[in-house]
Amino acid sequence: MRRAVCPGSFDPVTNGHLDIIGRASRLFDEVIVAVLVNESKSGLFPHDERVEMLREVTAVYRNVRVDGFQGLLVDYCREQGAEVVIKGIRAVSDFDYELKMAQMNVGLAGVETLFMPTNPLYSFLSSSLIKDVAKWGGDVTPHVPEIVALRLADRLRKPAPNG
């Protein structure tokens, strides 16, 4: 079985992520969307909510599974029996960052990375941009699944603990 891992923070998942996940699902027998548990970086959405949103929006793909991981990506790949990591590349700036990680990961454990060019429709999208636009009341509905837009509105409406 050819198994690939699509790793990321997914805080939150965007249409750009979904495009990569969907295309990867046509190339591999199984795709694991691996959501990083990052203790040093607090996101907008807690880890379990990111996983929940991803499960909902990837339910249409029968060979896609969503999971969480902590520690080294290559260790997680080994545990899961996955030989390949899939990464979306939006621009040269992504390549610069991703190349270093890909080279490190192949050196650490022989885990290969395949770069998938982002659909130009989504090449400007990022989770941080989405959060910023949503925070200031901008319309993010063309760029994220509907449930993500609703959850963003809900979360950003709640006042922060200190006002």
Catalytic residues: 17, 41, 90, 127
Q: What tokens appear for 96 in the block?
A: 């610069």
Shortest CB 8 distance to ligand PNS, Å: 3
Binder among 101, 116, 133, 147 for ligand PNS (CB under 6 A) = 101
The mark string for 28-47 relative to ligand PNS (x by CB under 6 A, - otherwise) is --------x-----------
HSE (side-chain half, CA atoms, 13 Å) at 152: 27
Q: Could you tell me if 130 and 32 are in contact, meaning their C-beta atoms sit under 8 angstroms apart? A: no
Number of residues that bind ligand PNS (CB under 6 A): 9
Interaction of residue 64 with ligand PNS, rule CB under 6 A: no
* Residue 87: partners with Cβ closer than 8 Å, 6 or more residues away: 6, 7, 94, 98, 102, 113, 114, 115, 116
Shortest CB 98 distance to ligand PNS, Å: 9
Shortest CB 15 distance to ligand PNS, Å: 15
Q: What tokens appear for 42 in the block?
A: 């607090």
122: left (phi over 0), alpha (psi -120 to 50) or beta: alpha
Binding positions for ligand PNS, rule: CB under 6 A: 7-9, 36, 72-73, 101, 104-105
